[in-house]
Amino acid sequence: MMTQTLTEQAIEPAVRAWTRLLRASASTTRLLSADLQEAHGLTINDFEALLVLSHAEDGRLKRVDLARNLMLTPSGITRLLRGLEDAGLVERAACASDLRVTYAQLTDAGREKLEAASSAHIASIRALFEQHFTAEELDTVAGILGKLPGVTDGDDSCSPG
């Protein structure tokens, strides 16, 4: 009993919060990604890329801006977009005024795939979170997480734009 108390005191609240946040994020991402993969053949990253593009003007963004938005490295965005391009969901588009710039452009097939997947994805999110939290607790969690760097009050929607 004494050892347990000492161990609990030795773990800083910030470290405990970080560890739980990291594990919860990894676990929920795996579960939700598995649902998306099984039902629609998309990973969470695929879905997020399509979603971000759907909210962009004309359904397109510079690849570097999409990478920044998704918090991916240049090689990470290249791998992600290669798969989406091969599936016909996204295409490369050149910039008319600067040949060094390449855009990622959402295709009609990509928009259709996103629209088909979004309602099922939202249902999976609701099912997962509502079995563990009340509506009030979810508001509290969202508010607390909103204080962290990189989390903005932007569009928290999983619905296509």
Sequence-separated (6 or more) residues with CB below 8 Å from residue 29: 44
Instruction: List the structure tokens of 15.
Output: 């470290």
Range 34-134 has CATH code 1.10.340.30: no
For residue range 49-101, list pLDDT tens digits in order: 999 999 999 999 999 999 999 999 999 999 999 999 999 999 999 888 887 88
pLDDT at residue 14 is higher than 70? yes
pLDDT at residue 104 is higher than 70? yes
pLDDT at 150: 77
Using DSSP, how many helices (H) and how many strands (E) does the chain show?
7, 3
| Per-residue pLDDT band at 1 (split at 50, 70, 90) | very low
Percent of residues, the chain, with pLDDT higher than 70: 88
| Domain locations along the chain | 34-134
Q: Can you point out the beta strands (E) in 15-155?
A: 60-62, 90-94, 102-106
pTM of the entire structure? 0.83
